[in-house]
Structure 1
Amino acid sequence: MLYSSIGYYALILGLGISLILVYFSIKNFQNSSTLNTKILSFTFLQFFFVVISFVCLIISFVLSDFSNETVFNNSHTTKPLFYKIAGTWGNHEGSLLLWLLVLTLFILIFVLKTKNQPPKYKLLTLIFQQIIIIGFFLFLIQTSNPFNFIFPTPEEGMGLNPILQDPALAIHPPILYLGYVGSSIIFSSALAATYLNLVSKLWASHIKKWVIASWVFLTLGILLGSIWAYYELGWGGFWFWDPVENVSLMPWLALTTLLHCIIVLEKKQILTSWVIILSISTFTLSMCGTFLVRSGILNSVHTFANDPERGLFILVFLFSLIFISLFIFFFFHKSSPNNSNSFFWLSKETSIIINNWFMMYFLSVVLIGTIYPIFLEVLSSQKISVGPPFYQKLIIPFLIPFLMAMAIGPKLKWIKSNIVDKFYLVLFFAISIILSFLIVKKFSNNLLINTILISSALYLFFITLRDFFIRKYSNISQNIAHFGFSLLILSILLNNLFSSEIITNLKVGETFTSSKTKIVFKSINQKQEKNYKSIIANFGIENINETTEDLSPELRIYNQPNIVTSEADIKTTLLSDKFIVINIVQNQDFFNVRYQVKPFMLWIWISVILISFGGLLSFFKREHEK
């Protein structure tokens, strides 16, 4: 109870510091030859109070202080220590406190590290950021207080959802929030620069590091969530177009587009409108994700226990921020005299504009697929779900020219280019078509579309691979990121093409036989752990080449809350994953068994790590690479 009281009053003090910071920032803005040292002190103090609040919540979870409502709803005495700590942010209230912690940390870093920028710009960025921070303080204190008391104190807690008790998911939210919250700095900075007419090459160089940092964290956060869903939920794939997956993908698409525009703006005084709009859009989409997850609108394994009041608060707050940002953009954005939007048709600028339009199209498809069912239900009370076929039909036809443009674009020059000495582009294209035709002819019925798809992915793969040998250390970060993306697309296409699945019901001792695979249900064992009982099924899998592998999926019966989960067993090699999961069939003495062979799964994870590493490497560019 003591720690909950300290945590709550630390939040109140943090909110008070925010109001003081806004006051000093406005006062200093009127006479801003230098940045007032009090502002830095109060920014640090604000962060310090939020840290105290967050640490108090962690201690309450570790000590199983069930007088705290958040701890009572999301913890249990038998839960392992690691998951008690991770449970701090594995719920609505704790996750918002973590979001607030990152918000205050980032603005502190911004104030400390921003050099060679006008004081008015720094002050205005601080004011916009504090508006966001005040909104989150009020949201926490009014609707989502993580320090509410329960009296009398319960002896035991409700426990954390077992599927959230996983190492990957324990670190997934903090990394994802670093990406989301980084977009808030970009948003505040873009509004400040627009208001002061400072959107320039110098500003682009300054804000690019924040864009890259947010993009890297968001990419890694999505990766960890995808890996968790793959082995924990038993879905057997890397992406399922779940609405909450989509709300993390949308800001990633906007942020990726923004990154390319910032790179152009850093070199030439163009695309300023694109940069400002994308800066606003990225943060807006991040906030939309927060609204959808917490409003009760979306039903997903990822969503928190919801309250319409919370959703209404976020919605009003979000519309207020959108209104302010659009007002500043339309009334204060001034195009530079050199900001010409007419480019030579064969140039790097044109290729980036094409890239932008494709990315915006993909973003629109994901956005419509996510929110259309919501609006349909509101207007007609009809419930529909939008699944993979919708996204595949709308995205795949445009993915082909996008991959071709992505392969050719980086090879073009700024301002004006030509096609002389580009014979290798034609050669690689021919090789890609021949290879893909041979692959698809042997393994697939959809010859035309799969040949075109895989040939475009192979083309990008060969072009980006060539860069490592020809360009060597020139722009190595871009080469790695683009190569990682080409490997990702190629791995996804081959994964879809070669995947196989067997679904059957088996009793212990029974055997299932198909033309290529034999599944033998050998035995069942039981094991008692601290907070669950495990039923382990032992299978022998015999393939067409007569090699046998033993796989042992689990059913876990948790004591608090009383939930049964399926734990897949996965054997991973360089070429494929063998994936098996079992489920109980009610009132029957057999189990439902799902066995899948998923080719190139490992390369999907590796490719995303390469993409992130390419972005991370750009922080450490040497001068000759710039």
Structure 2
Amino acid sequence: MIVEIGHYALILALILSLVQSVLPVWGAVTGNDRMMAVAPPVSGMMFLFVGISFAALTMAYATSDFSVLNVVENSHSAKPFLYKLTGVWGNHEGSMLLWVLILVLFGALVAAFGRNIPAELRAATLGVQGMVSFAFLLFLLVTSNPFLRLSPAPMEGNDLNPILQDVGLAIHPPLLYVGYVGFSITFSFAAAALILGRVDAAWARWVRPWTLLAWMFLTLGIAMGSYWAYYELGWGGYWFWDPVENASLMPWLAGTALLHSAIVMEKRGALKVWTVLLAILAFSLSLLGTFLVRSGVLTSVHAFATDPMRGTFILGILTIFVGGSLALYAWRAPLLKQGGLFAPVSREGALVLNNLLLTVSAVAVFVGTLYPLALEVVGGEKISVGPPFFNLTFGPLMVPLLIAMPFGPLLAWKRGDLYAVSQRLYAALGLALAATLLVAWLQGVDRILAALGFGLGIWVIAGAAAEILSRARFSQVGLSTGLRRLVGLPGAAWGTALGHIGIGVTVLGLVAATAFQVEKVVTIRPGESVTVADYTLTFGGLARRTGPNYIDDVGHFDILKGGVKVAETDPAKRLYTARKMPTTEAGIVTFGFSQVYVSIGEVHGDGGADIRVYHKPLVTLIWLGCLVMAFGGALSLFDRRLRVGAPKPARQRMVPAE
């Protein structure tokens, strides 16, 4: 009965989404207050019904209800309870239900916290969000119903895909989906503004918090997915330029550009056309990622195996919303008035340069990801575009972006003094040069590119710190007053600095882990040792271990440094008995910011095993930098000036509809 309630709740949500798609938008266009007033309560009811549906599916997994086809295909009675719950979104149907739940949640949040938004804009925004919700609820019910019954019900399920039975995969999809789907509300704001012909600085103020929220969660989701692939797949890499990884990177790049563009629009009333376009593109790229993952057009450890009907349906959704929004944009964009002029050397100019580089980077990733698919469709020829292409296109675009990053916050609005800003960055430049020379001396001049990359990371970090310290003006007001000034800085200022510092920290981790990593692949037997960097690993042999739904061959290693035991680790080769699928459970030991990484390959009958051992210097900085970025986003989000909804004075200053 609970399962049927979940199914019926989805149907009711579909009906409500149709109401929300029509009445509020018509009311906003015609000025009908009663129709516009429908949007907030309907948004809340949609969230309630989809929440009931998600709770019903979760209950079916928790109780191992094998009369439900989705539970049979993705669960097992012996599976740990945590993974019974996370199995809800460890499959196509359940993950799409989570996708829709987050989609209607954003609509409900705008309805609840967007009371300062003009009634017409809020109603139109919720109406567009209702259209998106209707499309995905229809997709869910027609092609991906998670509540299909089986009769008779089997006694046991098929178990969840083993690589998904991991804490990282319990966290990764919800974080990623909040980021993906979060851009839907910025898309809805953009479409609503174009429908009403009203795009102004106040609009940018309302859009920025939602963009920031989506960007923050997408950053965390990408980082969590990267770390999961790093330790769970046993490959020892943190980014593989997998098509599905690229599908999450593209909206992140577009969202980052949107954040910076919205700043210019809010402060100077400029870049209106560009900001609205980025709001459309960020969600369009999220829809593209959904299509790639669920259409079956590519093979990836991240992709869901789906039938062509699902791919065709999502392609139709993609075409309607992307094509429709771009057509609306083409109609309205010429009518939008641009804001004030600014010199190329100014904060606006720096943000424009930043946006151009981010957008071109997203285009490079887009081409590298979709070109093989397009070529196969057109000519039947199969090619592979791998890391060399992306490293040679994406990497060079990031270098000028990182060089310019410290200049932007220090430049004045409208017209800046590049020489004066350069003087304020002397200390940062000195630290970067010192770091470059030190790394070149320690590692050798043959690794000069790595040394330059390391110096670039220090440059970004020191430049962000210089911008914050310049606001304190210690040399003018003294230590105590300067500290008070730092404490009193708005959250957005600290958020911007931490976001840039996080980028620099991640760059340091990427450079060190790529250029200075040491790897050994050996066959080892009990009592033998292998040395990697400054560490010696002694193999203690294999032992058989039985888990709730798997069998492990666990290898024990003592890790010594200078002849002294400093740690031990137990990597394993795991076999899940229900699906007969093996996985690699890497043994990872962290020393400071560096790691020793061990994974077991083939196990031999004589007690030996093939192993892969890495020393990865500063590798944890990759994900630490992402956490710093997300924390900076959170500080900005809680800045009083950037909370959801614009303050009333700002609403009074709005310019007339254009």
1:5 is matched with which residue? 4
- Superposed, 1:71-470 pairs within 5 Å as 71-339=71-339, 343-418=342-417, 419-420=419-420, 422-444=422-444, 446-470=446-470
Q: How many angstroms apart in 2 are the aligned matches of 1:107 and 1:383?
A: 42
Q: How many angstroms apart in 1 are the aligned matches of 2:115 and 2:34?
A: 12
1:508 aligns with one of 516, 521, 526:
526
Letter in structure 1 aligned against 2:151: F
Letter in structure 2 aligned against 1:32: N
- Give the 3-state SS of the residue equivalent to 1:601 in structure 2: coil
Q: CA offsets per residue over residues 76-104 of structure 1, 9 Å max, x none? A: 01011111111011100001111111111
Q: CA offsets per residue over residues 392-435 of structure 1, 9 Å max, x none? A: 22233332221111021211100111123642424532442243
- Give the 3-state SS of the residue equivalent to 1:88 in structure 2: helix
- Give the 3-state SS of the residue equivalent to 1:420 in structure 2: helix
Answer whether contact 2:365 2:394 (CA < 8 A) is retained.
no
Q: How many angstroms apart in 2 are the aligned matches of 1:568 and 1:365?
A: 33
2:17 is matched with which residue? 18
Letter in structure 2 aligned against 1:376: L
2:587 aligns with one of 551, 569, 574:
569
Q: How many angstroms apart in 1 are the aligned matches of 2:39 and 2:396?
A: 52
Q: CA offsets per residue over residues 21-75 of structure 1, 9 Å max, x none? A: 3343255333434665443333222222111111111111111111111101000
1:597 aligns with one of 615, 624, 634:
615
The alignment status of 1:520 with 2:538, answered yes or no, reads: yes
Q: How many angstroms apart in 1 are the aligned matches of 2:532 and 2:626?
A: 35
- Counterparts in 2 of 1:20 and 1:195: CA distance versus 1, 3 Å: closer
Answer whether contact 1:373 1:385 (CA < 8 A) is retained.
yes
Q: How many angstroms apart in 1 are the aligned matches of 2:427 and 2:271?
A: 33
Give the CA RMSD over aligned residues: 2.3
- Counterparts in 2 of 1:411 and 1:335: CA distance versus 1, 3 Å: farther
CA shift at 1:172, angstroms? 1.2
- Give the 3-state SS of the residue equivalent to 2:614 in structure 1: strand
The alignment status of 1:28 with 2:23, answered yes or no, reads: no
- Give the 3-state SS of the residue equivalent to 1:579 in structure 2: strand
1:538 aligns with one of 539, 549, 556:
556
Q: How many angstroms apart in 2 are the aligned matches of 1:447 and 1:42?
A: 60
CA shift at 1:623, angstroms? 6.1
Q: CA offsets per residue over residues 289-337 of structure 1, 9 Å max, x none? A: 0000011112111111211110011001111111210111111224554
Once the two structures are overlaid, the 10-residue window that deviates more, 154-163 or 601-610, is 601-610
TM normalised by structure 2 equals 0.90
Q: How many angstroms apart in 2 are the aligned matches of 1:364 and 1:42?
A: 38
1:552 is matched with which residue? 570
- Superposed, 1:603-622 pairs within 5 Å as 603-622=621-640
Once the two structures are overlaid, the 10-residue window that deviates more, 465-474 or 12-21, is 465-474
Q: How many angstroms apart in 1 are the aligned matches of 2:38 and 2:269?
A: 35
The alignment status of 1:491 with 2:509, answered yes or no, reads: yes
2:483 is matched with which residue? none
Letter in structure 2 aligned against 1:359: L
Answer whether contact 1:499 1:598 (CA < 8 A) is retained.
yes
Answer whether contact 1:226 1:238 (CA < 8 A) is retained.
yes
Letter in structure 2 aligned against 1:236: G
- Counterparts in 2 of 1:443 and 1:140: CA distance versus 1, 3 Å: same
CA shift at 1:456, angstroms? 2.4
Q: How many angstroms apart in 1 are the aligned matches of 2:66 and 2:114?
A: 43
CA shift at 1:573, angstroms? 2.2
1:45 is matched with which residue? 45
- Give the 3-state SS of the residue equivalent to 1:561 in structure 2: coil
Answer whether contact 2:73 2:160 (CA < 8 A) is retained.
yes
Letter in structure 1 aligned against 2:631: F
- Give the 3-state SS of the residue equivalent to 2:575 in structure 1: strand
1:582 is matched with which residue? 600
- Give the 3-state SS of the residue equivalent to 1:423 in structure 2: helix
Q: How many angstroms apart in 2 are the aligned matches of 1:76 and 1:277?
A: 46
Letter in structure 2 aligned against 1:20: V
CA shift at 1:563, angstroms? 1.4
2:474 is matched with which residue? none
- Give the 3-state SS of the residue equivalent to 1:116 in structure 2: coil
Once the two structures are overlaid, the 10-residue window that deviates more, 429-438 or 584-593, is 584-593
Answer whether contact 2:453 2:508 (CA < 8 A) is retained.
no
CA shift at 1:159, angstroms? 0.5
CA shift at 1:530, angstroms? 1.3
Q: How many angstroms apart in 1 are the aligned matches of 2:577 and 2:44?
A: 43
Q: How many angstroms apart in 2 are the aligned matches of 1:85 and 1:174?
A: 13
TM normalised by structure 1 equals 0.94
- Counterparts in 2 of 1:284 and 1:572: CA distance versus 1, 3 Å: same
Answer whether contact 2:540 2:556 (CA < 8 A) is retained.
yes
Once the two structures are overlaid, the 10-residue window that deviates more, 478-487 or 442-451, is 442-451
- Counterparts in 2 of 1:477 and 1:271: CA distance versus 1, 3 Å: same
Q: How many angstroms apart in 2 are the aligned matches of 1:59 and 1:624?
A: 38
Once the two structures are overlaid, the 10-residue window that deviates more, 385-394 or 506-515, is 506-515
Q: How many angstroms apart in 2 are the aligned matches of 1:122 and 1:38?
A: 11
- Give the 3-state SS of the residue equivalent to 1:236 in structure 2: coil
CA shift at 1:548, angstroms? 5.3
CA shift at 1:547, angstroms? 5.4
Q: How many angstroms apart in 2 are the aligned matches of 1:352 and 1:113?
A: 29
Unpaired runs of 5+ residues, structure 2, are: 472-485, 648-658
Once the two structures are overlaid, the 10-residue window that deviates more, 579-588 or 560-569, is 579-588
Letter in structure 1 aligned against 2:347: K
Q: CA offsets per residue over residues 255-280 of structure 1, 9 Å max, x none? A: 00000011111111101111111111
Q: How many angstroms apart in 1 are the aligned matches of 2:256 and 2:457?
A: 19
Answer whether contact 1:464 1:486 (CA < 8 A) is retained.
no
Q: How many angstroms apart in 2 are the aligned matches of 1:184 and 1:513?
A: 51
Once the two structures are overlaid, the 10-residue window that deviates more, 514-523 or 129-138, is 514-523
Answer whether contact 2:230 2:236 (CA < 8 A) is retained.
yes
Q: How many angstroms apart in 2 are the aligned matches of 1:401 and 1:23?
A: 46
- Counterparts in 2 of 1:100 and 1:381: CA distance versus 1, 3 Å: same
Letter in structure 2 aligned against 1:531: N
Once the two structures are overlaid, the 10-residue window that deviates more, 545-554 or 98-107, is 545-554
Q: How many angstroms apart in 1 are the aligned matches of 2:396 and 2:9?
A: 53
Q: CA offsets per residue over residues 496-522 of structure 1, 9 Å max, x none? A: 222111111223333445786544322
Identity %: 38
- Give the 3-state SS of the residue equivalent to 2:89 in structure 1: coil
- Counterparts in 2 of 1:6 and 1:428: CA distance versus 1, 3 Å: closer
Unpaired runs of 5+ residues, structure 1, are: none
